[in-house]
Amino acid sequence: MSHAQANTLPELHRLHLAIQEVQEEIDRGPRQLRARSNTTASRLAELEAQRQKQKQLKMLADQKSLQLKTNEAKLEDLKGKLNQAASNREFDIIKGQIEADKVANSVLEDEILETLDKVDKVQAELKKLESDVAIAQAEEKKFASEVDQRRPSLEARLGSLREELQQAETYLPEEIRAAYQRLVQAHGASALSPVENATCTSCYVRLTPQNAVSIESGTIMFCRTCGRLLYPRKESA
């Protein structure tokens, strides 16, 4: 049975947890930044879609205006023909055609006004979207510089915690060092598990009374259920 100095395992656990916390904070920055970039990208895509919509509406209004001009020229032409009608029958046919064309042109005029109205509405939406994009871009830039500023001190803290950890690991008995390293590789900070009320706090399985006593007296032991390296949690710690 190996023994450790009373402080070694709690100290190792504390250091592993601190390293994990700093590492998570380092990783969080780029992750949050990616989320912000995605937000900016989707705002930009929305803006681009509205710009396309605007372009198409303007084209539609132009096409309809051109159609109206063509129709009006045709109408003038018909009016000229009306005066030269050779018979009453021909006169009635041309007159009917003129009436029908007038109605069609009036519908077309309404459609043009409606389309121009839509162009104005999309224009207002575009203004709003452009401002949304500008805000998202500014926030992204600000956040990126905050992440950059925080990073060196986090890296420095990580470095000094790792040094402390290496130092603390020298107090581990030689014979459990390999098993400890494997556990850390597999489980990170949760490689170690405090025992509370004779129970492993990693898997919540109760220790035998004998093992609980051994743990309390500083014997190094791995949990039989989850394999974690056990140590007694001191009440005041």
Residues that bind Zn ion (CB under 5 A): 200, 202-203, 223, 225-226
Distance CA(213)–CA(231), nearest Å, equals 11
Quickly tell me which residue has 């006004």 as its tokens: 113
Q: Which is nearer to Zn ion, 59 or 186 (CB)?
A: 186
Shortest distance in whole angstroms from residue 227 CB to Zn ion: 7
Q: Which helix (H) or strand (E) holds 116?
A: helix 88-169
Q: Which is nearer to Zn ion, 115 or 202 (CB)?
A: 202
Distance CA(4)–CA(173), nearest Å, equals 7
Q: Which helix (H) or strand (E) holds 167?
A: helix 88-169
Q: Which is nearer to Zn ion, 4 or 223 (CB)?
A: 223
Distance of CA 6 to the CA centre of its chain: 45
Tokens of 192: 């170690």
Q: Which is nearer to Zn ion, 172 or 223 (CB)?
A: 223
User: How many of the other CB atoms lie within 10 Å of CB of 39?
Assistant: 14
Shortest distance in whole angstroms from residue 199 CB to Zn ion: 9
Shortest distance in whole angstroms from residue 2 CB to Zn ion: 18
Shortest distance in whole angstroms from residue 169 CB to Zn ion: 22
